[in-house]
A and B are shown apart, each in its own frame.
Chain A
Amino acid sequence: MTHHVIRLDAPDDFDGWRDAARALAGSGVPADRVLWQVGDQPADLFATPHRAPVAPISPSAARLNVPRDFIQLARSVVLHRDPERFSLLYALLLRVLHRPALMQDATDPLRRRVEGLSQAVRRDMHKMRAFVRFREITMPGQDGDAAEGQSRFVAWFEPDHHITRTNAAFFVGRFATMHWSILTPDAAIHWDGTTLRQGPGASAADAAPGDPLEEVWKAYYSAIFNPARLNPRAMLSEMPMKYWKNLPEAALIPDLMATARARELDMIERSRAAQGRHGTAKVGR
């Protein structure tokens, strides 16, 4: 049995996937005859693929009518870490070409599975926008004059999926006039006020600590917490512990939780004492 092996340039290579998928679908290649791999990493260790060129795109294939919401879905799903994402998407594409209404059918199992991947990616992108924490680093100027230096903002973040490059537009739009870098284990993005550059993965140590504003932020985080409303479950569902190590304020959480009850009781005790003094205790009409 021959397989078509499609080699994509990068784990988030949407254009590569789309071009290949279009050609394959145009030539009627079924989903189980395609092996997708990123770079030189074999996608499937057990298959011994025979490399077969994909037939050139026929005019009819070039005009494949793909619903727009499929493209949107595919763009995000490609960013998922699941090694099966390319083949799942291709299988879904073939079915959608056959029956465009499938995109409206949230109850179809394959459609649901792919939708699930997309949801995970969107959540990851959202959490990155929320939890990236920049640190200001003042670079010395040309002749070592710190006052001449331009400050740079550097963040370290560990996303679950291959979202860093795709998410860059958000940070460019928001911090357009700043110079910043976001470092992740797989990739880095750098913005200098005009151009976005990409770099290789980095390590946490590359985003050096020492920004004095972190202490001010921690003071805010402590003060805005209301100990009379302790609700760790709600906090954890939105800010799971896997993010804590890169959030400066998270270091305060154990202590804030441990002392909350005592602080609440203390407030109540003091109110009680005050009411005793004033001799009024009832509220109501």
Chain B
Amino acid sequence: MAQLDISQKLTILADAAKYDASCASSGAKKRDSRDGTGIGSITGGGGICHAYAPDGRCISLLKILLTNSCIFDCHYCINRRSSNVRRARFTAPEVVDLTLNFYRRNYIEGLFLSSGIIASANYTMEQIVEVARSLREDHDFRGYIHLKTIPNADAELIAQAGRYADRVSINVELPTRQGLERLAPEKSETQIEGAMADMATVIEDGADARKRYKSAPRYAPAGQSTQMIIGADAANDRDIVRRASGLYTRFKLKRVYYSAFSPIPDASAVLPLQRPPMQREHRLYQSDWLIRCYDFSLAEVTSVADTATGMLPLDIDPKLAWALKFRGQFPVDVNRAPREMLLRIPGLGPTAVNRLLKARRYRSLRLADVARATTSVKKLRPFIICEDWRPLALTDSADLKALITPKPKQMELFAV
């Protein structure tokens, strides 16, 4: 086989990495390269998306695999050993160069490096760590680094990954143990969760040490995250939201990413042909936000799932679904209700809620005031009371849903 050049390898190894949904460069500590010998900075906040692909996804990091060869045979994965996909492998220095070259041109915020498992878990992990070490130590690179860790690699190697990376992740892959056993027979939930627990300890101990010694090294200051594939096994939304919530609390995760299973070249015969509607992934993210940013409890979110199927509604978002189900709680008086209740009003986000809370300290809010603090007041009206507005028992009416539900759009444009 002819030697592949960098562009050809990159094509193969980015293609192999694109099914991982996490690309965020968020959560890292602010820093820059003014007092250094290299380049790179973290500006805080969400990180920067330097481009968007036609799939609407943010391109923030150089997201690649070190190699797409793998000794495992996970059915959902394009890199599994039985797949006919073309194989390639980067050397550690090649990845270092590519990262720096892209970074210098302001294409990226940093690197997200993962790998198929070659030879052994430890060998693979060593290669991943070497890339990060070289970027940090040889080049004083201060951009973002996200490393995927290999579950059964030695704890020492996992700790080293945390030492160089801003974020580390281990994918739980599937929402249920049965799904994992069936679709990733060589992986084990115990091992994956064990590695997550170890990482959580490393991060926590590191943070502890830094409280006592300022010079103690940081370990993955942006925390750890994970990803689940949606729609490849039989797990319903209720299972998924429960699993995610358990992961957040047990391993102090920063993010759980959902990746709607999507057709891959040379798919395994046990996979479904159809991908789940993209809207499903979106609804799961929304339910995740309700718990993380809107103070909803797990039980509140799962209460809107269909009792029989355990699925969240696709046509309306889970917050609106909650409001319709518990319409007795509405209308909410925007001049008096506490923050938690304001956050439950469909169409009102945390920013708007903060604006209203500030503004109402100075005067009694009218509908026009609410309109100026939000993007659209139309959706809110049935749910709120203010100085000059009270809905006409609208929240009791059975056709409320029809009134405020967005017109059905053709969601599955490409359904087969």
Q: A238 and B53 in contact (CB under 8 A), knowing A174-B33, A219-B11? A: no
Q: Is B313 in the interface zone, CB < 8 Å from A?
A: no
Decide if B414 touches A230 in the complex (CB within 8 Å): yes
Q: Which chain B residues numbered 33 to 89 have a C-beta less than 8 Å away from chain A?
A: 33-34, 36-41, 43, 48-59, 62-63
Interface hit among A5-13, A27-35, A71-79, A252-260: A252-260
Q: A238 and B58 in contact (CB under 8 A), knowing A224-B63, A265-B416? A: yes
Q: Is B285 in the interface zone, CB < 8 Å from A?
A: no
Q: Is A277 in the interface zone, CB < 8 Å from B?
A: yes
Q: Is the interface of A mostly helix, strand, loop or mixed?
A: helix
Decide if A224 touches B53 in the complex (CB within 8 Å): yes
Interface hit among A49-57, A58-66, A98-106: A98-106
**Residue in contact with A177 in the complex, picked from B8, B38, B57, B272, CB distance below 8 Å:** B38
Decide if A216 touches B10 in the complex (CB within 8 Å): yes
> What residues of chain A lie closer than 8 Å to B370, measured between beta carbons?
107
Q: How large is the interface on A (under 10, 10 to 19, 20 to 34, 35 or more residues)?
A: 35 or more
**Residue in contact with B373 in the complex, picked from A106, A177, A247, CB distance below 8 Å:** A106
> What residues of chain B lie closer than 8 Å to A190, measured between beta carbons?
none
> What residues of chain B lie closer than 8 Å to A230, measured between beta carbons?
54-55, 414
Decide if B37 touches A177 in the complex (CB within 8 Å): yes
How many whole Å from A138's CB to the nearest CB in chain B?
13
Decide if A107 touches B373 in the complex (CB within 8 Å): yes
Q: Is B275 in the interface zone, CB < 8 Å from A?
A: yes
Decide if B105 touches A211 in the complex (CB within 8 Å): yes
CA distance A234 to B106 in the complex (A): 22
> What residues of chain B lie closer than 8 Å to A283, measured between beta carbons?
232-234, 270-272
> What residues of chain B lie closer than 8 Å to A227, measured between beta carbons?
55
CA distance A132 to B105 in the complex (A): 8
Residue-wise interface mask of B (351-376) relative to A, using a CB-CB cutoff of 8 A (1 in contact, 0 not): 00001101101110100111011000
CA distance A272 to B269 in the complex (A): 8
Q: Is A165 in the interface zone, CB < 8 Å from B?
A: no
Decide if B361 touches A135 in the complex (CB within 8 Å): no
How many whole Å from B368's CB to the nearest CB in chain A?
8
CA distance A162 to B272 in the complex (A): 53
CA distance A155 to B102 in the complex (A): 14
Decide if B39 touches A174 in the complex (CB within 8 Å): yes
**Residue in contact with A264 in the complex, picked from B6, B32, B101, B263, CB distance below 8 Å:** B263
Q: Is A239 in the interface zone, CB < 8 Å from B?
A: yes
**Residue in contact with A106 in the complex, picked from B6, B268, B272, B355, CB distance below 8 Å:** B355
> What residues of chain A lie closer than 8 Å to B406, measured between beta carbons?
none
CA distance A146 to B18 in the complex (A): 39
Decide if A213 touches B105 in the complex (CB within 8 Å): yes
Interface hit among A14-22, A84-92, A123-131, A198-206: A123-131
Decide if A104 touches B373 in the complex (CB within 8 Å): no
Decide if B15 touches A223 in the complex (CB within 8 Å): yes
CA distance A264 to B266 in the complex (A): 12
Decide if A216 touches B6 in the complex (CB within 8 Å): yes
> What residues of chain A lie closer than 8 Å to B57, measured between beta carbons?
224, 226, 229, 234
**Residue in contact with A274 in the complex, picked from B55, B233, B269, CB distance below 8 Å:** B269
> What residues of chain B lie closer than 8 Å to A233, measured between beta carbons?
56
**Residue in contact with A133 in the complex, picked from B33, B105, B414, CB distance below 8 Å:** B105
Q: A106 and B359 in contact (CB under 8 A), knowing A178-B39, A220-B14, A283-B232? A: yes
Decide if A134 touches B11 in the complex (CB within 8 Å): no
Residue-wise interface mask of A (106-118) relative to B, using a CB-CB cutoff of 8 A (1 in contact, 0 not): 1111001000000
**Residue in contact with A174 in the complex, picked from B7, B40, B98, CB distance below 8 Å:** B40
> What residues of chain A lie closer than 8 Å to B191, measured between beta carbons?
none
CA distance A74 to B367 in the complex (A): 28
Q: A130-B48, A284-B234 are in contact. List 5 more A-B contacts (CB 8 A).
A: A107-B355, A107-B359, A174-B106, A229-B55, A271-B267
What are 22 of the A-B contact pairs (CB < 8 Å)?
Answer: A104-B358, A104-B359, A105-B363, A107-B365, A107-B373, A174-B32, A174-B39, A176-B33, A213-B101, A219-B11, A219-B14, A229-B262, A230-B54, A234-B55, A235-B53, A239-B51, A267-B263, A267-B267, A268-B263, A274-B268, A283-B232, A284-B233
